[in-house]
Every structure is written in structure tokens, then in C-alpha cells.
Structure 1
């Protein structure tokens, strides 16, 4: 038990700040649709084919346009992504009629974009994802080991939102008792977040729902060979065909090819899907607009469908305000637990016994 306590403290001291920042940034992102503050963000969704097709043709005709994240019930603006030299991170919000509401040259001009990048990549791309993934595994260890360590002192349990004093014993007691209360919520947040980064961990988590091998195979991006991008793709025809194949699905993301030979991609969301951008996909030949392939998310193996529910649970895209409030409690608790763990480890550590004895001896002479 002493070894477990030592591992819990040292790991918390080393990785606690990362977890605290993940908790804080994640909590802020839960409410991004309320604080973005761009005119038209609260507009009702107009998802009919004629409106979406006309707007798509208008927006994709803009110089450098590379793709659209379509408006949804929560956020009433389309998000346009630009590419090309000097346009890295550039984008715009547009009304559902195709009028530009806001535009930016880099993500640093939009708080919701750089906070998202920090929460998912620590501003470091794939390397940052690995750091977050390791922090997630450490968080899982904290929840399990913390529950074990709490059991020894369960008779002294006191629920406090803030330590009684900013002394090390008071902070440790607060950390232990608050941690056991929010442990179920932290477990859900940590597990679902880590699933999106480490595929082997995700496959282990979905094993009870179906074959991990089948799920991994189903989630592999299909490979299609496309012709060169046409000068003026017929987006209306593509969207019409997509709506014919999936009549109840919402249009979610349109993407132009990233490199030569890639198709034009379209993601859709069917009513039964939890994932906000859906996993129902179509690939169109960039030269002709013909359908190269389609994937129905609801026909995927049960394990893959279980994996697709991780992000909506993690980001409160399901469950309404009740679940969002619970995740807010989880995020703020993680912020508090992580930051105070680092504070007590590095700045409130007990003095070594020998040093204390030496000082006492000197004081008595």
C-alpha cells in the first residue's frame, strides 16, 4: 500500500498539471456554442437539400475554399476551411444563406479554435496527442489507486468543495474525499478521452461489445482512386445523390482532396448516430462527381458503433443539459484535483526527517 501511495503522489506531481489544464479547457469547450458570439450562431437549422446545395456552391466557389463543416441544431453557422499557401489555419463562419459572418487568417484569432487545438494536441500535433494519451492513462491509474487508498481512511470522510485550510494535510484530505465522490465521472471522462487517442486502448474498451478486429477493420478509411479535381465540381449533384442514398441524414462535412488521387469526401449523420458529425460517409470522384463508395455507419459492427459513441459522451454531445452539468463537475474537479496535487507535491512537501531533526537540535543549543 505504501508503494501504491508513493506512485500515486509522484505521478500526480509530474502529470497533474496536464490533467488540470485538460479539465479546464474541456469544461470551456462544453459551452463554446454559447460564447462564440458571431451573428447568426443561434439561427435555426435549414437542412433542406435546395438551401444546403445553393449555399455549398456559393461557399466552395470562394478562392482557397477546401471544405465546410455544416451548421447543426446547436450552432447555426457553417464553418469554412481555406487552404493553399499562406492560408494554414484560415477559415470563416458563414450564414446558412452563404453570407460571411466572420473570417480569420489563423486559429489564434478565434479562441474556440486554439482552445480546441490545445485540448486535443497541446499545440504540438501528434506529439501533443501522445502526451495527452499518456496523461489519460495516468488519470485512469489515479482514479483506481485513489479509490483503493481512500478506503483506508473512509471513516474520516468529509465532503468539502475547497480545502479547510491551504495546509498540506488539509489539501490531501480534501483531495482524497473529493476524488472519491467524482471518481465515476472522472473515470468516464478519462476513458472516453483516452479511447480517441490510443487505438489499442479503445479496442480493449469496446471488446465487450464486439470483436475488436472487426471493429478496427470497419473503421479503417476506405481507399479510393480519384481523378484530378475538376475546375468546377457539381456539388449539387453530389449532395442530391447523398440525400437519395441516406434520405434522413444531415449533411455534416464536405472535404476536397488533400492530395492528388484522393476523392471528395462527404460525411453525414443519421438520426440514430450519436457522433455529431456522423460516420456515414460517401466518396466522390473529384473529376466526374461519380460515387466511388459509401459507408453506412449504422451497418458497422457493434464494436465500431460503440467506439463512435466515445466522443459524444466525452464532449457532451448527447444527454442534454443534465449530462453537460455532470461533465462540468468532472472537468472542474479534475482541474482542482490536478492543480492542488502539483501544489502540494512541489511546494508543500513535508520536510525530510533528518533536516527537521537537525534544525530542532540546533534550536535547542
Structure 2
């Protein structure tokens, strides 16, 4: 038990601030669509085939101003988001008119907060650190549950310590942590598996990583450069003919020279914000190359596709967003107070000379 106690304290002391940062940024991002300030952000989505086709044709017509990616408006956010090279971007209303532009993510708090939460401003390296922190957080929660069991009869729930002394903070930390544990486990497990896909084997079976990778793989790369002139509205119509009831979610130009334009769609039963129903077109002439129906994906992959919506509270409406907000706030509180007690409120270790002096004084007092 001493080893578990030491592991719990040192994990909290070393990664508590990082976990607090991830928790607080996640709690804010859950509600990002509500606080993004831009004209027409509250407009209802226009998802008719001709409405989407018209604005795609307008936005993609000029090669000089063509975005690398369009993420289309949905019921929670009424603007299309355009992504350009070098981190630049824009919001456009559903008539195709730009209403906001930026040259880097630092001009938009919703973008740099997302980069902080997912990558710690450090790209793939930062994403790996986030994944490791999530795994360490799981160990932190599990060891905390074990340590709490010994003192379960003394349970007293407090949102905030009775006073800012080390014993009071530790008491609050112990009992508040046990209440928050289910939500923390959900956030940390989903976050860790999203970063480290091989961990899906623990949740979904030993063959899960291979099954997921194979079923989500794009068609083979094709030769050919992106043509300056393509029938962009025609692509939308072809995709809608193939999946008439699916919502059109994003359009991406070829990446890493693969010669494929990718159109993602979301069927009504899918939880992922952009869906896994996908249609690919040739970049040189725009003809249909392949299509993937999310309903035909293996059950393992469909289960894996639920992890991000659960982690980001993209399902369940406001009640679930509130729960995941509480999870983030709890992680922020527990992580920050752990660091404070570990580094700044550690119990003072008395020197042997002082201990002997206090003992002599006690003996003298008893004899007197």
C-alpha cells in the first residue's frame, strides 16, 4: 500500500498541472460552438443538394483562393469553416460570403485552444505527450480508488476544501476524486485510445487495431495533379445520389499527393460529427473513384467511431456536455490542488536534533 500511495502522490505531483490544463481546456472546448463570435453563426444549416453544390462551386472555382478543406455548417454552428495552407482559415456563411478570416490559429481562441488540448502546441510530439498523460491519469485514478477504500467510512463530499491546509485539501481530494472518478475514467480512456489506437485492443479485442486500420483505409493513391477546373457541384450531386439521406460534412483536397478528393458524409445514425460515410473523386478529372458506407463497416470499427463523440460530448445534447464539462473541471481542480500540496504544502521533516530537543522538553514537563 505504501508503494501505491507513493506512486499516486508522485504521479499527481509530476503531471497534475498537465492534467489540469487538459481538463480545463477540454471543459471550455465542449461549448466552443456557443461562444464563437462571428456573423451568422446561429443560422440553420442548408443541406439541400443544390444549396451545398452552389456554394462548393463558388468557393472552389478560383484555384488562387481555393481552400484546402471545407467543413460545412451543422445544426450547432451555422458557418462553413475553410482551411488554407500555413494555418490560415476563414468562416463563410451559407451563401459563400466570407465573414471572418485569419492568417494563423493564434487569431482564433477556438483554434489555439484545440491545438493546446490535442497537441500542446507541439504537433505529433505533443499529441504523444497528451496520450501518455492520459495513461498516467488513468493510473492516478485507479490508485486513488484503491487508497480511498481504506478510508471509505470517513467519506465527506466537498466541492472545495474546508480550509487551505494540507490535511483539509487531501481530505477533499480523496472524497471529491471518488465522486468524479467515473467521468474521469471516461475522459481519460477515450482520450488515450484516440491517441494510441493500438490500445483499442484492450477495449475491443486483440484484432481491433488491425480491423480498424483496414476498414478505414483510403483507396490506393492515384497519379495526377489537381485540375484547375473541375465540376465541383457535380461531385456533390453524385455523392448525394449515392447516399441521398446523408448530411454532407467536409470536402478535402488531395493530401500528400494521393490524387484523391475526399468528401465525408454523415448518416442520421452516426455519432461522429463528420461521419465515416466517404466518397472519393479523382483529382485530375473529378470522376467517382470509390465510396464507403459507414453502415457496412465492421462492428469493431463502428464501436471505435463512438469514442471521439463520447470524449468531445458530440452526442447527448446539453446534459452530456454538462457532464463532460464537470469531468474537465474536476480534472483541473484535482490536478492543480495535487501539485500545490505536493510541491508547496509538503509536511516539514524535523531534524533529529529538533526531535530529541522536543522529547527532552516533554520529559522535563512530565517530571515537573
The TM-score by the shorter chain falls in which range? Answer: over 0.9
- The 5 Å alignment of 1:43-62 reads 43-62=43-62
Length-normalised TM-score, structure 2: 0.94
- The 5 Å alignment of 1:20-99 reads 20-62=20-62, 63-83=65-85, 88-99=86-97
Whole-Å separation in 1 of the counterparts to 2:112 and 2:241: 37
Task: Tell me, yes or no, if structure 1 residue 171 matches structure 2 residue 169.
Answer: yes
**Alignment check: 8 A CA contact 1:226 1:285 kept:** no
Match 1:101 to one of 74, 79, 99: 99
Unaligned 5+ segments in structure 1 are none
SS of corresponding position for 1:65: coil
**1:158 matched residue in structure 2:** 156
Match 2:331 to one of 324, 334, 349: 334
Residue 257 of structure 1 and its aligned partner are, at CA, apart by: 1.2
Whole-Å separation in 1 of the counterparts to 2:271 and 2:332: 27
Question: CA distance change for structure 1 residues 193 and 360 in 2, over 3 Å: closer, same or farther?
Answer: farther
Whole-Å separation in 1 of the counterparts to 2:93 and 2:241: 25
**2:364 matched residue in structure 1:** none
**2:318 matched residue in structure 1:** 321
**2:248 matched residue in structure 1:** 251
**Alignment check: 8 A CA contact 2:83 2:90 kept:** yes
Residue 52 of structure 1 and its aligned partner are, at CA, apart by: 0.6
Task: Tell me, yes or no, if structure 1 residue 297 matches structure 2 residue 294.
Answer: yes
**1:192 matched residue in structure 2:** 190
**Alignment check: 8 A CA contact 1:275 1:311 kept:** yes
SS of corresponding position for 1:293: strand
Residue 249 of structure 1 and its aligned partner are, at CA, apart by: 0.7
**Alignment check: 8 A CA contact 2:24 2:329 kept:** yes
4+ runs deviating over 4 angstroms:
358-364
Task: Tell me, yes or no, if structure 1 residue 181 matches structure 2 residue 183.
Answer: no
Tell me the C-alpha RMSD between the 2 structures.
Answer: 1.8
**1:282 matched residue in structure 2:** 279
Whole-Å separation in 1 of the counterparts to 2:359 and 2:148: 38
Residue 237 of structure 1 and its aligned partner are, at CA, apart by: 1.0
Residue 234 of structure 1 and its aligned partner are, at CA, apart by: 1.1
**Alignment check: 8 A CA contact 2:68 2:252 kept:** yes
SS of corresponding position for 2:348: coil
Question: CA distance change for structure 1 residues 75 and 359 in 2, over 3 Å: closer, same or farther?
Answer: farther
**1:203 matched residue in structure 2:** 201
**2:220 matched residue in structure 1:** 223
Whole-Å separation in 2 of the counterparts to 1:160 and 1:178: 6
Residue 293 of structure 1 and its aligned partner are, at CA, apart by: 1.1
**Alignment check: 8 A CA contact 1:279 1:297 kept:** yes
Question: CA distance change for structure 1 residues 60 and 341 in 2, over 3 Å: closer, same or farther?
Answer: same
SS of corresponding position for 2:351: helix
Whole-Å separation in 2 of the counterparts to 1:30 and 1:93: 19
Unaligned 5+ segments in structure 2 are 362-368
**Alignment check: 8 A CA contact 2:200 2:208 kept:** no
**Alignment check: 8 A CA contact 1:60 1:66 kept:** no
Whole-Å separation in 2 of the counterparts to 1:310 and 1:355: 54
